Amino acid sequence: MQTVDKKYVEIRLKNLRGEMSKKGVGISILWDPDNEYYFSGFRAITYSRPIVLLVYPDKTQYIIPALEDDHARINAKVDEFFVYHEKIQNSHLDTAYHQILNRILDVISKEEVLALELDIIPASVYEMIKGKGFKIKDIGQEIIGLRAIKDEEEIYWLDQAGRLSDIALEASFANLKPGMSELEFDSFGDRKLLEIASGEYPDKIVGYENWTCSGIERSSMPHLYSSTRKFIENDIVVHSRQVWINGYRAENERTFLIGKPTAEQKKCLKIAIEAQKIGLEMVKPGVKAKDVDIASFKVIDEAGYGDYVQHRIGHGLGLTEHEEPYLRFDNELVLKEGMVYTIEPGIYIPGVGGFRHSDTIIVTKDGCRSITKYPRSLENLLF
Amino acid sequence: MQTVDKKYVEIRLKNLRGEMSKKGVGISILWDPDNEYYFSGFRAITYSRPIVLLVYPDKTQYIIPALEDDHARINAKVDEFFVYHEKIQNSHLDTAYHQILNRILDVISKEEVLALELDIIPASVYEMIKGKGFKIKDIGQEIIGLRAIKDEEEIYWLDQAGRLSDIALEASFANLKPGMSELEFDSFGDRKLLEIASGEYPDKIVGYENWTCSGIERSSMPHLYSSTRKFIENDIVVHSRQVWINGYRAENERTFLIGKPTAEQKKCLKIAIEAQKIGLEMVKPGVKAKDVDIASFKVIDEAGYGDYVQHRIGHGLGLTEHEEPYLRFDNELVLKEGMVYTIEPGIYIPGVGGFRHSDTIIVTKDGCRSITKYPRSLENLLF
């Protein structure tokens, strides 16, 4: 099962209520599944059936679909449940989440200030709530701030995810050969990872995702899904391996070269590795997010490849694929112990290829440590 | 590459413009990645970098992040591109999507009616657009209506996805043994599917997802991610196998029994199979969505298990995991040729287990045909 220890849910709710109180907010109405998991320990497969978490100063409520009823009652650390139904036998009960939400809101004083995640909640739901006459504030940035500093339990799972991602990378490389497709290369890592996870982490949810961009054209585009394209002799490949366990994610990316790389390809990979090294060395409490990005970019720019950079050096990581805050040239945020980032400067040159390693790091008391440890040097990445 | 033939993009845009014209809408501003793919042939890995598609009566525009620039220009059938940047060298250019969107909207007459997907677009973006004084209408239901009827190219890829899902199911079953985990069981299917897809569909994006719920407790909960729980003798298992190729998805689910099932387990699986059979027989043009759900539920209810149903009989399928419209007891929608649904009645009994097959069907001229064909009978699902 995927869940959060009650102790941590209580601390997180206390922190959220502290933020609500500072903003004069009476009730937070949360929509984002990762935020809901963070504050309740319950994560469902959602899609077409919304789940809503209401946080009051003294209680919490969940609005859930009937098919999640048992699942939620086992995992969710929540005070009250309201269930909506979708079979004809229960047509006399609530059959949509908004019927319940409406009823709850209708008995709340219109003087109450409500908080929503305005960058996440759909416009139609926002309009429905706002239409009742409540004053609405955004609680999104406060939650991002709370989630940015990881607690003990989160760091434990991040470490496990990092370890599993290294095991998967190693297995993919051990089976690498020209003629296999990007997706087949990924699957050797998946298989090993699931074997190890099944043996060592009983009854846990483990997931993974890979984006493998092979050849000059595909590797020059930073962000593509793995495809059925087959590796050929002298390919350059940017391989992104992502693993999550109990909800927490590690991103582990290596650029590698099959056969004989050109002199420029070797040179560019070395520059990308050096830019990442400088980024990793920069990270410590007190440093600004922007300074990490700028210092790393400078390495690439001074080597003459600044025109071929297309993205920031990294993003926050934890429950969500990309979490704010971002390590971007314009972000004044001061880094703190317990934050988690990817460090992944990239160079993408049409006709030459793409060059990017990514590691996931945790900010420590006086620097950072990487939860992904696969070797980064060129010599280890020639096949 | 994942893309759509230009011919279909043009037909779809023509249909959308027809809907816009009927509603008196001048510009549609689309946010949903699947809608964007449908109307442009371009699908990116998005997350923290929004992509916005603007559809006018006579042109289309894309707002994209710099790291998707080359990728979008190869795949997107769009008239104009606007790019936002995230490196310090380009800090004099646009560095966020909303700067571009603002500038575009600022030169448009405030008399213009804009259409948004109100169930999808975040409240903060909606507020920004609305704050400029435009009249706003929802275009979500019209797009759902257009997407619900699949064209020739979509049906081709749905058929390939169905075929690949059957191959994967077969490979998982061929390797089934007690002691393997749910995730390991899934991975045998994944591996075979990727091998076949890599051989037969060059340079295509293929993806998959599995939800395997084994044992009495887990199978009784309809919707759980696969875990590291290991199969034991006499387990009942609900296995969901989902595959997509070029964006189009098949859902293929089988309940199977390891070792010696109890008499009640065998009985319940037979009821679930019969309920699905009735559902499959009901589907044809002219029938209402509700009638399929009600007829199938009746089979389970008359057998005495109506209390153990928790969800509708099925959902639309195509580009998105769950697409509207839904086959639900309260949906008056009349089915039409070219619609695609899952047919998946389920029974979930605490202490006994869960029972659900799911097949993906296309509504034909006089009935329906299943794109997933793995055998459904009890005899084929005892291991």
**Shortest Cα–Cα distance, A346 to chain B (Å):** 10
Q: Which two tokens stand for residue B123?
A: 């409240």
Is the per-residue pLDDT at A16 higher than 90? yes
Dist CA A47 CA A31 (whole Å)? 12
Chain A residues close to B311, C-beta within 8 Å:
65-67, 86-87
Distance of CA A279 to CAs A80, A254, A270, A329, Å? 46, 16, 14, 13
Task: Give the type of residue at A46.
Answer: T
Query: From the centroid of its chain, how far is CA B353?
Result: 26
* A286-342 confidence digits (pLDDT tens): 999 999 999 999 999 999 999 999 999 999 999 999 999 999 999 999 999 999 999
* pLDDT recorded at residue A1: 79
* A81-128 confidence digits (pLDDT tens): 999 999 999 999 999 999 999 999 999 999 999 999 999 999 999 999
Is the per-residue pLDDT at A47 higher than 90? no
- Please report where in the chains the tokens 């887990």 appear, as a residue: B218
Distance of CA A342 to CAs A292, A320, A369, B210, B278, Å? 11, 12, 11, 28, 51
Give the best residue of B74, B157, B175, B194 to mutate against chain A (max A CB count within 10 A).
B194
HSE-up of residue A367 (Cα within 13 Å, Cβ side):
7
Provide the β-strand partners of residue B82.
B63
Q: Which two tokens stand for residue A328?
A: 């971007």
Task: Give the type of residue at B250.
Answer: A
Q: Confirm or reject contact between A73 and chain B (CB < 8 A).
A: no
* pLDDT recorded at residue A250: 98
Chain A residues close to B2, C-beta within 8 Å:
225
Q: How many CB pairs under 8 A join A and B?
A: 220
CB A251 within 8 A of CB A342: yes
Q: Confirm or reject contact between B118 and chain A (CB < 8 A).
A: yes
B334: helix, strand or coil: strand
CB B274 within 8 A of CB B281: no
Q: Confirm or reject contact between A324 and chain B (CB < 8 A).
A: yes
Cα Rg, chain B, nearest whole Å: 23
Could you tell me the domains of chain B?
6-146 (3.40.350.10), 152-381 (3.90.230.10)
The segments of chain B whose pLDDT lies below 50 read none
CB A279 within 8 A of CB A303: no
As a residue count, chain A comes to 383
Dist CA B54 CA B64 (whole Å)? 12
Cα Rg, chain A, nearest whole Å: 23
Dist CA B278 CA A217 (whole Å)? 50
* pLDDT recorded at residue B116: 98
Dist CA B43 CA B33 (whole Å)? 7
Which of B218, B364, B84, B195 minimizes the C-alpha distance to A182?
Answer: B195
Query: From the centroid of its chain, how far is CA A368?
Result: 19
Q: Which two tokens stand for residue B57?
A: 């009566």
**Shortest Cα–Cα distance, A116 to chain B (Å):** 9
Instruction: Answer yes or no: do A227 and B207 touch at CB < 8 A.
Output: no
* pLDDT recorded at residue B1: 79
Chain B residues close to A95, C-beta within 8 Å:
330
Dist CA B183 CA B174 (whole Å)? 15
Residue in A65, A123, A329 closest to B126 by CB: A123
Burial B285-300, CB ≥16 within 10 A → b, else e: bebebbbbbbbbbebb
Predicted complex ipTM: 0.95
Sheet holding A60-65, edge to edge: A80-84, A60-65, A52-55, A27-30, A113-116, A135-138
Residue in B86, B201, B294 closest to A328 by CB: B86
Which of A269, A288, A270 minimizes the C-alpha distance to A341?
Answer: A288
Instruction: Answer yes or no: do A227 and B205 touch at CB < 8 A.
Output: yes
Chain A residues close to B48, C-beta within 8 Å:
315, 322, 324, 326
* pLDDT recorded at residue B37: 97
CB A219 within 8 A of CB B244: no
Secondary structure, 3-state, A286-348: CCEHHHHHHHHHHHHHHCCCHHHCCCCCEEECCCCCCEEEEECCCCCCECCCCCEEEECCEEE
Distance of CA A350 to CAs A215, A223, A275, B93, Å? 11, 14, 20, 22
Which of A56, A2, A6, A59 minimizes the C-alpha distance to A26?
Answer: A56
Which of B285, B280, B317 minimizes the C-alpha distance to B299?
Answer: B280
HSE-up of residue A16 (Cα within 13 Å, Cβ side):
33
Burial A312-331, CB ≥16 within 10 A → b, else e: bbbbbbbbbbbbbbbbbbeb
* pLDDT recorded at residue B47: 81
Q: Which two tokens stand for residue B315?
A: 């959902």
**Shortest Cα–Cα distance, B210 to chain A (Å):** 10
Distance of CA A247 to CAs A3, A12, A159, A204, B358, Å? 8, 16, 12, 10, 27
Alpha helix (H) residue ranges in B95-214: 97-106, 123-130, 140-148, 152-174, 182-200
Q: Which two tokens stand for residue B69?
A: 């620039």
Sheet holding B248-257, edge to edge: B206-214, B236-245, B248-257
CB B32 within 8 A of CB B60: no
Task: Please report the DSSP string for A192-213 in residue order.
Answer: HHHHHHHHHSTT-BEEEEEEEE
B314: helix, strand or coil: strand
DSSP A107: T
**Shortest Cα–Cα distance, B366 to chain A (Å):** 27
Burial A50-78, CB ≥16 within 10 A → b, else e: bbbbbbbeeebbbbbbbbbbbbbeebbbb
CB A82 within 8 A of CB A73: no
The residues, any chain, with a CB within 8 Å of residue B193's CB and separated by 6 or more, are B164, B165, B167, B168, B171, B206, B208, B243
CB B236 within 8 A of CB B354: yes
Burial class of residue A263 (count of CB atoms within 10 Å of its CB; 0-12, 13-18, 19+): exposed
CB B241 within 8 A of CB B169: yes
Dist CA A63 CA B220 (whole Å)? 20
Provide the β-strand partners of residue B382.
B257
**Shortest Cα–Cα distance, A294 to chain B (Å):** 7
Q: Confirm or reject contact between B87 and chain A (CB < 8 A).
A: yes
CB A67 within 8 A of CB B311: yes
Burial B38-76, CB ≥16 within 10 A → b, else e: bbbbbbbbbeebbbbbbbbeeebbbbbbbbbbbbbeebb
Q: Confirm or reject contact between A311 and chain B (CB < 8 A).
A: yes
Q: From start to end of chain A, where are the E strands?
A: 27-30, 52-55, 60-65, 80-84, 113-116, 135-138, 206-214, 236-245, 248-257, 314-316, 323-327, 340-343, 346-349, 353-356, 359-363, 368-370
Q: Which two tokens stand for residue A212?
A: 């493998």
Which of B179, B150, B159 minimizes the C-alpha distance to B12?
Answer: B150
Dist CA B284 CA B363 (whole Å)? 6
Residue B306, Cβ neighbours under 10 Å: how many?
Answer: 17
Residue B159, Cβ neighbours under 10 Å: how many?
Answer: 16
Which of B255, B261, B268 minimizes the C-alpha distance to B344?
Answer: B255
Cis peptide, bond prior to residue B325, ω within 30 of zero: yes
Mean pLDDT value across residues A187-202: 96
Chain A residues close to B181, C-beta within 8 Å:
194, 197-198
Dist CA B314 CA B48 (whole Å)? 31
CB A234 within 8 A of CB A258: yes
